[in-house]
Amino acid sequence: MSEAQIDLNAFRAEVRGWLSENLPPELRQAHNRATSVFVEKQFNLAWQAILLRKGWVAPHWPTEHGGTGWNEAQRYIFASECARAGAPSLAPMGLKMVAPVIMKYGSEAQKGYYLPKLLAGEHYWCQGYSEPQAGSDLAALQLRADSDGDDYVLNGSKIWTTHAHVANHMFCLARTNRDGRPQEGITFLLLEMSTPGIAVKPIVSIAGDHDFNQVFFDNVRVPKANRLGDEGKGWTVAKTLLEYERAAAYAAGLIEALAEVRAAARDAELLDDPAIRRRFAELDSQVRTIHAVEDMVLAAIGEGRDPGPASSMLKVQGTECQQKIQELAVDVAGIYAAPYQFEARQAGSNTGYVGPESALTATARYFNGRAASIYGGSNEIQRNIMAKLVLGL
C-alpha cells in the first residue's frame, strides 16, 4: 500500500488504542522512573515480548527479516505514540545498531542465526567500541585479536560498555593488524559474553546508576566464523553502525519530555515568568527542527540508504536539546531536585518526600544526560564530520 493510500489518522488511532490496552502499568512506571538511557533489562525485554506478539518489535527492519513494512510517517507516529503512552524504549544495541550491519555485511548463516534471536530478545547486546585510550578516536583502539588457527585470541579492555553486566552478546572492534594506517587493521567481531576470559567490572555514575562497565579480555578465544565482514575491514562496518546509532529517533521523546516539564512548570506556577516562557519557546523551535532532520534520516533508512552526515546533525541537535530540557527540568523542580532525593528514588520509596513526582528524577536525568553528547562519538567529532562532508571544509 502506498503512503497516499494509508489513512495515517486511522493508523494513529490503531496504535494509540493498542497501547492503551497492552502497555502494563508496571512498564509505564518503569519508564517514568528511569533516569538513564535505558530502562532495566527485565522491563526492556518484557515490553519487547509484548511487541513481538504484535509484530511491532522492529519497525525499521525489512519485512523479510520480521519488520513491519511501515513507511517513515508510520514509524514516526508509532514512536510518538509510544512516547506519549510512556512505553519503555527498547535497547538499541541489538535491534537498531548491530542488526542493520548484520543484514548488510553478514553471511547468510550469520543472518539466519542472529536476526531471529535479536528479534525475539534471546540475544541482548552490548557495544565494545571505546577503550581507556580510544574514545571518540576509535582508530586508536588497542584491543588485540591475534590469529590462532580458526580463532582470534583477544587481549585488552573496553570501557563505558553500557549493559555489559547484563548482556549475553557483544559486537566488538579489535586490532588484527598493527601495520599501515590504523583504520586498516581493525576487525569487527561478534562474541558471547560467557566466553572464558571475559571479566566485567561496574562503573557507577554520579547519579548512582549502574549502566556502564569496563570489560577485560584475557586470552579470549573468538571463532573467526564470528567475524562480520572481511578481516581488517571493520572500520567500514563500524562507521555504518555508528550512523545508525547516531540516527536515533529523538523528536517524539523530546516532545513528551518537554510536555512533562511544561506541566511541572504549570503546577509550580512558573509559566508567567518571562525567562521560563522564553526557554520553552526556544526549545519548541529546536524540537521542530530536529523533527525535520529526523524525517530526512528516517526516509534514507526506509529506502535502504545509509543516513550519512545527516545522522551527525541529528545526534548533535537531539542530544543538546535533550540536555537543555533536563536543565530546565532541574530549574523548574527547584529545591525538590536536591541530590539527596536520589535516595528515595533508588530505594523505591517516597518516604519523607513531599515534592512533585517529576522532581524525583530531575537531577539524576540531568547528570546522566551529560554523557549524551559524548557517547556515540562526541558532538565535537560530529561537527568535524559535518564540516568535512557537508560544508567541504
Task: List residues with catalytic annotation.
Answer: 245
Pairing label, strands 169-175, 198-204 = unpaired
Q: CA-CA distance, 244 to 98, in Å (whole number)?
A: 9
Give the DSSP letter of residue 89.
P
* Nearest by Cα to 241 from 110, 386, 97, 124: 97
First to last CA, the chain: 42
204: Cβ–Cβ under 8 A, 6 or more apart, which residues? 210, 212
- Count Cβ neighbours within 10 Å for each residue of 189-210 and write b for 16 or more, e otherwise: bbbebeeeebebeebebebbbe
- Which H or E run includes 148? strand 144-148
Q: CA-CA distance, 276 to 378, in Å (whole number)?
A: 29
In order, the DSSP letters of 39-88 are: --HHHHHHHHHHHHHHT-S-TTS-GGGT-----HHHHHHHHHHHHHHTPP
**Secondary structure (3-state) at 12:** helix
Cell 551527525 belongs to which residue? 312
Q: Which amino acid is at 321?
A: C
* Cα angle, residue 386 at apex, residues 75 and 136 outer, rounded to 5°: 90
Residue 246: Cβ-neighbour burial (10 angstroms; 0-12, 13-18, 19+): buried
In order, the DSSP letters of 155-189 are: EEEE-S-TTTTT-SEEEEEEES--SSSGGGGEEEE
Q: CA-CA distance, 375 to 318, in Å (whole number)?
A: 13
Residue 291: Cβ-neighbour burial (10 angstroms; 0-12, 13-18, 19+): middle
> CA 306 → CA 74, 240, 300, 301, 313, distances in Å?
20, 7, 6, 6, 14
